[in-house]
Amino acid sequence: MASDREKRLDALLDKEDIRDCLRRFSRGMDRFDRDEYLSAFWPDAEMAAGPYVGDVPGCWDWAMPMHRDWQVLTQHSLLNTTIDIDGDAAHTETYYLFVARNKPFPGADAETLTLAGGRYVDRFQRRHGEWRIALRTNVIEWASDAPPAAVPFGDVPDIAANGVSARDRSDPSYARPLVNKRARNQP
């Protein structure tokens, strides 16, 4: 019989696997990495996000043109997560903050920012030892548009030497090994 400590360690590892799955969803969306995005869901998973209700690949196909055609970048930031595990099922609630830098709308001459917050309410299943999302409901609680502020440090000559934010595998987060290409500057 497993000790209390072993049970707690098993639960901790399960929760970390679930959190990793949640991170794969967010990173996949923001980096336009379809494989990483889909790896967070079971192939038969269902999704309810905004007006979209259906399978997960269909949600990707619905969301990507919007993100690509109307937005310069997006950030799906995950905040507090509660995880309730019951055998091979788990229910989670993850607060999120979404930020999008939007291209100028037709007739407008400036970019805008979309800020939104809400919760991902998910049902996970563990199959063959792996946790993935089986059902996701996106509870949008607020949203707002605002003009963007100036990008900080835009006047630093080598600010982009280590790479710039990209919505593909050229993003610095994919670099292996990560190295610094910027000159030392310790004022």
Residue 148 has pLDDT above 80, yes or no: no
- Which pair of structure tokens corresponds to residue 120? 């991902």
Which residues make Cβ contacts (< 8 Å) with residue 171, sequence separation at least 6? 31, 163, 165
Q: What is the pTM of this model?
A: 0.88
The DSSP H or E segment spanning 122 is strand 112-127
Cα–Cα dist 22/39, whole Å? 10
Average pLDDT of the chain, as a whole number = 93
CATH number at residue 71: 3.10.450.50
Identify the weakest region by mean pLDDT among 1-15, 26-40, 42-56, 117-131. 1-15
Cα–Cα dist 181/70, whole Å? 32
- 67 located within any domain: yes
Print the domain residue range for 12. Answer: 4-149
Domain count along the chain:
1
Cα–Cα dist 13/107, whole Å? 51
Mean pLDDT computed over 167-180: 92
